[in-house]
Amino acid sequence: MSLTRRSTLAALGGGLIAAAAAGPRAALAQASPPLRIEITEGVVEPMPFAVAAFLPETPGVAEAAANVARVVAADLAGTGLFREIAPSAHRGLVTSFDAPVAFAAWRALGAQALVTGAVAAEAGGRLAVKFRLHDIQTGREVGEGLRFRGGAELWRRLAHKVADAVYARITGEGGYFDSQVVYVAEQGPKDARRKRLAIMDYDGANPRYLTEARALVLGPRFAPAGDRVLFTSFERGFPRIFLLDLASGQRRALEDQPGTMAFSPRFGPDGRTVVFSLEQGGNSEIFTLDLASGRRTRLTTHPGIDTSPCFSPDGSRIVFESDRSGRQQLYVMPAEGGEPRRISFGEGRYATPVWSPRGDLIAFTKQNAGRFHIGVMRPDGSGERLLTASFLDEGPSWAPNGRVILFARETAGAGGAPGLFSVDISGRNLRPVPTETFASDPAWSPLLP
């Protein structure tokens, strides 16, 4: 029997992704990989896995090999879908990348999946990282071995690539480890907070600052290709939208009109259109801006506050929040404007809608009975589920694969401060993302090329 151990994971309630959740019979019929985490309703039983010591195949890369293996294991364990078997339990079990795997020994350790790997230095300061994924139960390799190459300074990215490949082979979904997060780093007391734009790897590694603390900055968002960032800054005194090119560090102001406030920008899926809020005379409306021509198009006309717009991934629709009914609710309208349709009808108020990159869900902030929640609903408003609850949870941002959500959680009181957290769309695996300062307004990049 080729279908082996299956960890059943509650990743989505209500059978939302029934199509992706092949049952055992479907899996057999479709010849899906034998080692498989199926995503269905049910209990969470993380899959036991091991990352064997990555073998240094050239002199001087022992440390790099150990580091790469450590990051691969951390990526996988961090999903909550896998449980790592400690390296101390299997030291020396693999001595050659191409030698046959001692399946019986790994089986005795309780491992279901095994990642083996090797690291070699190459000419020009490059590093080659290769790996194989093994199904311990069947004694077979899952997929073919792969090799990634890059500059030695990119060793973390090489490790994330390995983990993304392993994750994709076992879950059947895209990975998200080789990605970045842009966010607002914060310091200082609550009534004099200083804020800087910052960027880091998805796991908090390699943080660096993109702006000085001289001006307040808010709400950065990635371009679809991950090469540019939109954000709102007070650097000219009044809130303005800026476009930052990450490679060059160059930035320019968009919509620099005196007497107005431009804020809440987000790229369209084409990377050429920006949807944002523009306030004039106290009234905030939603506009799009064509970056090349500078042409601006007004999409809403209502005395209520219309803000936090976000395109659907196919570019055909825009979800936004409006208090036109009396308090904040979510609305969907055609991308070229037109009659908005309200989609949120539960208790409390709904804000900051963000369309999943898969198109199947909209994540939002909900405020009800003195608590804040991150939640998801289908684009038609059905199937609402709250994933978190706290004094103040705000501003969801999707992982590239639409399985995990980043958000900011702020604590109460005079010493209250925000930090970043991630949670998967089942509401499980809530965990803090380490940052060296307070942090808010996270935005997840697409998967890096």
Partner 1 sequence: MGTLSKVLIVMAALGLAACNNPDRYLGGDAGGAGYDDGWGGGAAGGIDAAPLGDVRNPASPAFFQARVGDRVFFAVDQSTLTPEARDILAGQARWLNENRGYGIVIEGHADERGTREYNLALGARRANAVQEYLVSLGVSPGRLRTISYGKERPVEICSEEACYARNRRAVTVLTLSAGS
- The verdict on 237 binding partner 1 (CB under 8 A) reads yes
Tokens, residue 394: 């705000």
Beta strands at 283-290 and 296-298: parallel, antiparallel or unpaired: antiparallel
Count of Cβ atoms closer than 10 Å to residue 424 Cβ: 21
User: What span, in angstroms and rounded, lies between the C-alpha atoms of 233 and 237?
Assistant: 9
Q: How far is the CB of 295 from partner 1 (least distance, A)?
A: 24
Which residue(s) pair with 183 in the sheet? 198
283 lies in the site for partner 1, by CB under 8 A:
yes
| HEC readout, 18-63 | CCCCCCHHHHHHCCCCCCEEEEECCCCCCEEEEECCCEECCCCCHH
Name the token pair of 345: 């009808």
Q: Residue from 220, 340, 395, 402 that binds partner 1 (CB under 8 A)?
A: 395
Neighbours of 415 (CB within 10 A): 8
- Kindly state the number of chain residues that form the binding site for partner 1, as judged by CB under 8 A: 55
Q: Based on CB atoms, which residue is closest to partner 1, 308 or 388?
A: 308
Taking alpha carbons only, the member of 415, 422, 412, 419 closest to residue 438 is 419
Interior CA angle at 269 toward 267 and 274, to 5°? 25
Residue (110 or 188) nearer to partner 1, CB: 188
Residues 181-210 that bind partner 1 (CB under 8 A): 187-194, 196, 209
Choosing from 19, 31, 292, 412, the residue that interacts with partner 1 (CB under 8 A) is 412
> What's the min distance (Å) between Cβ of 172 and partner 1?
35
Handedness of CA 34, 39, 40, 43 (dihedral sign): positive
Question: In the set 282, 293, 294, 347, which binds partner 1 (CB under 8 A)?
Answer: 282
Of 77, 114, 120, whose CA–CA distance to 94 is shortest? Answer: 114
388 in contact with partner 1 (CB under 8 A): no
> DSSP code of 181?
E
Q: Which stretch binds partner 1 (CB under 8 A): 43-51, 116-124, 276-284, 376-384?
A: 276-284
Is 234 an interacting residue with respect to partner 1 (CB under 8 A)?
yes
Backbone angles phi, psi at 99, to 5 degrees: -70, 155
- Four-point Cα dihedral 169, 174, 177, 183, nearest 10: -170
**Binding of residue 416 to partner 1 (CB under 8 A):** yes
Site for partner 1 contains 230 (CB under 8 A):
no
Q: How far is CA 360 from CA 12, 19, 130, 173, 417, in A?
A: 11, 12, 34, 14, 32
| Under rule CB under 8 A, residue 154 binds partner 1 | no
279, 360, 384, 424: residue in contact with partner 1 (rule CB under 8 A) = 279
Candidates 277, 288, 329, 344; binder of partner 1 (CB under 8 A) is 277
Binding characters for partner 1, 307-326, by CB under 8 A (x = yes): xx------------x-x---
Nearest residue (CB) to partner 1, 171 versus 322: 322
Q: Are 343 and 324 in contact (CB under 8 A)?
A: no
Q: Which of 328, 344, 388, 445 binds partner 1 (CB under 8 A)?
A: 328
Residue 148 or 222: the one with the smaller Cβ distance to partner 1 is 222
For position 103 contacting partner 1 by CB under 8 A, the verdict is no
* Amino acid identity, position 138: T
State in angstroms the smallest separation of the CB of 182 from partner 1.
15
Q: How many whole angstroms separate alpha carbon 240 and alpha carbon 238?
A: 6
Residue window 254-273: x/- pattern of binding to partner 1, with contact defined by CB under 8 A: -----x-x-xx---------
What 3 state SS string does 248-287 have?
A: CCCEEEECCCCCEEEEEEEECCCCCEEEEEEEECCEEEEE
Rule CB under 8 A: say whether 300 interacts with partner 1: no
For partner 1, the binding residues (CB under 8 A) are 187-194, 196, 209, 212-216, 218-219, 232, 234, 236-239, 259, 261, 263-264, 277, 279, 281-284, 305, 307-308, 321, 323, 327-328, 351-352, 365, 367, 391-392, 394-395, 410, 412-414, 416, 440-441
